[in-house]
Structure 1
Amino acid sequence: MKRKIISALLLSLASTAQAASYTAPSVITNMTVGRDFARVKTQNISSAEGCSKSEWYILDFNGVGTPEMYSMLLAAKASSQKVHFQLIGCHLDYPKVTHVYNCENSQCTN
């Protein structure tokens, strides 16, 4: 009986997990910041995650690791370094940034 309950719980967790999408490495062209989120635009921005808006990526300040990701974005913008993002879901109808990579290629092998 315990196995059936555990299996059912694991199955329900697996079905609610969202798949991530990834952007191509690109230079940040514009940023805006407000009280609850930052918007980021890159040279090669594209629609992702099925969000209705695709002009910006959103970094929600209520997420885990947000101060560190925001610091990386500011440093990359100031130095014109390429970044790319892991995106999961939408926030305010824009793709939501959940991980920031600061490297030249998508595998970060540079």
Structure 2
Amino acid sequence: MVAAGMADGKSWYAVRCVFRWDASEGAPYEERLTLWQAVSMDQAIARAEVEARTYARENGHRYLELAQCYRLDTAGRPGDGDEVFSLLRDSSLGEEAYLDHYFDTGHEHQGTATEA
């Protein structure tokens, strides 16, 4: 039995696109991951960017024309625990400084509106 997506040469890709919410207080940035089945990274990015422009237009945001792609190493549909994105970054910062600089600036909007 051939896993879904394998017989047609397609793989799953996660694409991260970056947006600016100009109409929101503070004009925050959004990093958004979407999942695509495609035959190549180029095709996944092209499809993701079409969706990103639509998402931005429909929500009053600006797409900043940055898309980063990651091919999932999965046979068939993604499942529990599958890695969906990875980005390596060289930095001379120590661990705590690195986390503070890139991930814990104090200006993150985390969680959802439905969380208590």
> The TM-score by the shorter chain falls in which range?
under 0.3
Using structure 2 for the length normalisation, give the TM-score. Answer: 0.22
Using structure 1 for the length normalisation, give the TM-score. Answer: 0.23
The structure with the greater share of residues assigned to strand is: 1
